[in-house]
Structure 1
Amino acid sequence: MMYKFFMSVYKEMLLLKRDFGGLVILFVMPLVLIVTITLIQDTTFKSLSENRIPILLVDNDKDSISKTVMLNLQESGSFEVISTIDGIKATEISAKEAVFQGKYQLAIIIPAKLSADLQLKVNQNVEKIVSNFGMNEASENANTTKEIAPKEVRLYFDPATQITFKNAVKSAIDKMISQIETKSIYAAFQDQLGEGDETLFEQKSFITFKEIIPRVNDKEILPNSVQHNVPAWTLFAIFFIIVPLSINIVKEKGQGTQIRLITNPVPYFVIIAGKTATYLIICMIQFYLMVAVGVYLFPYLGLPILEVEGKLVLMSIVALFSGLAAIGFGILLGTVAKTQEQSAPFGATSVVLLAAIGGVWIPVFAMPKVMQVISNFSPMNWGLNAFYTVLLRHGSFLQLLPDIILLLLFFVLTTSIAIIYDKKKRAV
């Protein structure tokens, strides 16, 4: 039986050797994919100070608030504040046109007399409060009788701008304006009650936010683009083995090779075992090539290095069982499909779908509730969670067991269905 198994593996190796171009694609294309995607996504894990976003600022106020807004935008390190378009001072109309044409992502329009009217409105409110406590006899003055219309800071976004960027900018601007209003209120109360004594009100924030970053061996664990992309696109490459594997099985059925093997006689499960061993070797080679790129090539491209010290064994286990799951699906598809025209498109499409619902492209938490439930049934999601447990959560083998068991059960289930289906089909 072992002899037949090794001969089956040797046969698969010969078939792969004859299709050298396809073999190269299996190894080269994933490497090109992982380098390209990681380079594109790397800036989302870095500070935007290296890639400042140009924004238009139209200052119709020309007073303290507009100066504070401009200063905060410049000090944030995320934006390059521009006030001219082609050498001409920007107006609301010209800024709006430039943004809607896609020349800039954002324009901020600060209304006229914003600082003066805000101060006037704050003084009115403070004087009303103070007079209600009987602390200010001269409360009936011009400030309290003048009606001041609310001001609005207008934001124009490029229609192609992502909603996450819009929300982040709007939140930052709103926080900035709120802080300015709060300081103005404090200052007005100081004038009314403390005669300008700056120590009367403490204007420092009482409530602050601090992110507690997990530490391992006194080192902070900071996720980067490499830790996300290497496991994600490694899984994508491993599962793409479904396409050539299913085509290989369909081709054998069409050429009569499978019938000759079975009449030899060679049990179908031995043929399956030979294919599993052969393609599992390919999957592991793909995995180690991906890891090598993350460790040795990425630093030369200005990307973070993939830290695998003490993690490579667990990562290899995850890759092994992920490869088994992919091979099981490929065997099932190849057994059920009747032609290459059925197996190839369906295999490629199913890999893309599994990646989409598995969290390779979009994080699962950002999906609708229905898709979050569906993602729990994607073997790519199990593999990705296992990789994250090793790389980002520094988990142990016991913490990997649930995902590994699911991957193994998926392989056993798909191959069992393939063997039973083939046996029934030949018995008819």
Structure 2
Amino acid sequence: MLLYKLWRSFIKEILLLKRDIGGIVIIFVMPLLLIVTITLIQDSTFKNLEGSKIPIIFIDQDKSEVSKNIKAELENSKTFQLLTNFNEKSAQDAVFSGDYQMAIVIPENLTKDLNSNIDSKVQTIVSSFGLEGDSAKVKTAAPKAKEIHLYFDPATNVGFKNSVMNSVNKMVFEIENKKIYKAFQDQLGTTENLDENKNLISFKEITPRKGEMDVMPNSVQHNVPAWTLFAIFFIVVPLSINLVKEKSQGTSVRARISPTPYFVHILGKTFTYLIICLIQFLLMVAVGIYLFPYMDLPAFDVSGKMFQLVTVTLFAGLAAIGFGVLLGTIADTQEQSAPFGATSVVVLAAIGGIWVPVFLMPEFMQTIAKFSPMNWGLNAYYDIILRNSGIGGIAKELIFLFLFYIATVAISLFYEKKQNAV
């Protein structure tokens, strides 16, 4: 008998949704538009950075070995297009006015002063060990350190600035090291090949592996789970509106005075919207698998992960449903539930890492993010897709999502009972 009442409650929710075609469109179509648009923008941005060169101004006042090496490194990086028909003043004006993102100015006598500085220091070190060569030079005062001037457009991203500065520092550091090593060779009379001593320490990125292949993260792997979660939580809006409608139309009164317990009414909504969440997820995955490759985007790989992903989707759906039930129970009018529901979902998305990665947030916001159900769901999705975790690896996030559903529904039932107590 209880199952029959649950079934009838489920049918009632389906009929309510059928009367709201606009709500159905919002629930299913809007997330698909979001995921396609955002992924295209992000992926095209990455491709532009890889496939096209950023024009920067390069002024060589040294015109010798070091400046030529720096220029060659910048050209070989395939990132920059060097513009050389500027002087320092015109370069500064062009960059500060926003015409170009940056300018690099190599000072005069950089190579000469660097060689002189290195020779002076090497001779001092060699002399301190009593190993002066026959060709020891007369000591001279070491010249002052030279400065390479970097001009940046004030609107330039800080990350880009730091990346360029680190690259230039690395180039200069390598040039200095080679020159110092060569100077010691000359002083000590060794003939060892300089090239044999470079790259004694290097970096190798280790990525998760699937069989014999490295798993390289891409924009699709980040956007599909993120916007799936956003879509799931957006059901808060129609769910809360339907609950408010029931109160204004007297449906909730009939539900309370009927022999059916009120929690069955809530369970009917839960099962209905869980199916909607599952359909949303499957649509998003279908777009990632079948549509993205036709748009020159990476395909979304779910092989061997579908069960875990569906499990996270169901638990995330429970959390979203619980939040929607709570909002719809507390709100008195649609004017309260609709804007607050939409705004709260956007805020939860921002806090949870959908818009901005959590690690880029201030420390206190990172702490707040740990209490966002969207963050729990997103971490669970990432653990499966990017870290190859199983159900055991995401158990903590699943428990948090389920407890969030239990807590919000319990508060809703308590509030409803208190409001209607005679």
| Structure 2 length-normalised TM | 0.93
For 1:179, which of 156, 174, 180 is the aligned residue? 174
For 1:130, which of 126, 130, 136 is the aligned residue? 126
Structure 1 unaligned segments of length 5 or more: list them: 84-88
For residue 274 of structure 1, report the CA deviation from its aligned partner. 1.7
For residue 24 of structure 1, report the CA deviation from its aligned partner. 0.8
For residue 279 of structure 1, report the CA deviation from its aligned partner. 1.5
For 1:406, which of 366, 382, 400 is the aligned residue? 400
CA contact (8 A) 2:133 2:188 kept: no
- The aligned residue for residue 22 of structure 1 is 23
Once structures 1 and 2 are overlaid, which stretch shifts more, 288-297 or 387-396? 387-396
- The aligned residue for residue 39 of structure 2 is 38
- The aligned residue for residue 218 of structure 1 is 212
Q: Is residue 2:96 matched to residue 1:95?
A: no
Q: Is residue 2:107 matched to residue 1:118?
A: no
Relative to structure 1, the CA distance from residue 157 to residue 406 in structure 2 (aligned partners, 3 Å threshold; closer, same or farther) is: same
- Report how many residues are paired: 420
Q: Is residue 2:243 matched to residue 1:259?
A: no
Q: Is residue 2:345 matched to residue 1:325?
A: no
Once structures 1 and 2 are overlaid, which stretch shifts more, 172-181 or 341-350? 341-350
For residue 265 of structure 1, report the CA deviation from its aligned partner. 4.3
For residue 131 of structure 1, report the CA deviation from its aligned partner. 3.2
- The aligned residue for residue 7 of structure 1 is 8
- The aligned residue for residue 384 of structure 1 is 378
For 1:163, which of 152, 158, 163 is the aligned residue? 158
CA contact (8 A) 1:92 1:109 kept: yes
CA contact (8 A) 1:249 1:331 kept: yes
| Structure 1 length-normalised TM | 0.92
Once structures 1 and 2 are overlaid, which stretch shifts more, 317-326 or 371-380? 371-380
Query: What do residues 102-154 of structure 1 show as CA deviations (whole Å, max 9, x unaligned)?
Result: 2222211111221122112212222223333441477563xx33552221111
Q: Distance in 2 between matches of 1:19 and 1:47?
A: 42
Once structures 1 and 2 are overlaid, which stretch shifts more, 186-195 or 9-18? 186-195
CA contact (8 A) 1:45 1:224 kept: no
Once structures 1 and 2 are overlaid, which stretch shifts more, 101-110 or 385-394? 101-110
For residue 202 of structure 1, report the CA deviation from its aligned partner. 4.9
Letter in 2 for 1:232: A
Secondary structure of 1:145 counterpart: coil
Alignment of 1:245-256 (within 5 A): 245-256=239-250
Query: What do residues 169-197 of structure 1 show as CA deviations (whole Å, max 9, x unaligned)?
Result: 111110110111111112222222217x3
Alignment of 1:212-291 (within 5 A): 212-291=206-285
Letter in 1 for 2:230: F
Q: Distance in 2 between matches of 1:23 and 1:109?
A: 59
Query: What do residues 291-317 of structure 1 show as CA deviations (whole Å, max 9, x unaligned)?
Result: 001001111111111001111121111
Relative to structure 1, the CA distance from residue 294 to residue 26 in structure 2 (aligned partners, 3 Å threshold; closer, same or farther) is: same
Alignment of 1:50-89 (within 5 A): 50-83=51-84, 89=85
Q: Is residue 2:147 matched to residue 1:148?
A: no
- Percent identity between matched residues is 58
Q: Distance in 2 between matches of 1:408 and 1:240?
A: 18
Q: Distance in 2 between matches of 1:290 and 1:363?
A: 21
Q: Distance in 1 between matches of 2:93 and 2:245?
A: 58
Secondary structure of 2:144 counterpart: coil
Q: Distance in 2 between matches of 1:299 and 1:200?
A: 47
Q: Is residue 2:360 matched to residue 1:366?
A: yes
Q: Distance in 1 between matches of 2:244 and 2:97?
A: 52
Relative to structure 1, the CA distance from residue 402 to residue 66 in structure 2 (aligned partners, 3 Å threshold; closer, same or farther) is: same
Structure 2 unaligned segments of length 5 or more: list them: none
CA contact (8 A) 1:48 1:77 kept: no
CA contact (8 A) 2:136 2:187 kept: no
Query: What do residues 202-245 of structure 1 show as CA deviations (whole Å, max 9, x unaligned)?
Result: 53132222222222211111111111110011001110111111
For residue 405 of structure 1, report the CA deviation from its aligned partner. 1.5
- The aligned residue for residue 105 of structure 1 is 101
Q: Distance in 2 between matches of 1:273 and 1:302?
A: 42
Alignment of 1:202-213 (within 5 A): 202-213=196-207
CA contact (8 A) 2:61 2:107 kept: yes
Q: Distance in 2 between matches of 1:203 and 1:359?
A: 44
